Structure 1
């Protein structure tokens, strides 16, 4: 009889090296900064009861999300080769 408990299943092991890019891309920075600015603007507008400014802040958030996606598609985002899913074995 052979002892099968000594065999190691490699499917649970993490990738050999972590991705070199942790989202430090133009698309990620643009999206983060614009969404934060829009959220802060909307939050301040709620405190001073300026309904129109709340909608402006919400529009800025939407512009940030769409702009980040456009930049990512244009090649300024993280490539598929840099993600964890692409490096798993």
Structure 2
């Protein structure tokens, strides 16, 4: 059983979550690239920041997931700078 940690409700079975897509930079939200963003999702190898929703509580949050190993590295609630890359100290 795969476990994901909801920032509000704690560790839960992955079946309680819904994937909502990758986190995009707000400056990329233009009419010209809307079709590309909707129909041509990126498939990078490595860590991707994604929107997820805990369906029983409707908590929407960001998860960082390694696409090579499918490991969930961390989860956190949205912040004003959520569209900016995280810097690790």
Q: TM-score range by the shorter chain?
A: under 0.3
Structure showing the higher strand proportion among its residues? 2
Normalising by the residue count of structure 2, what TM-score does the alignment of the two structures yield? 0.23
Q: Normalised by the size of structure 1, how large is the TM-score?
A: 0.23
Q: Which structure: greater helix fraction? A: 1
The answer to which structure, 1 or 2, has the higher relative contact order (CA under 8 A, 6+ apart) is 1
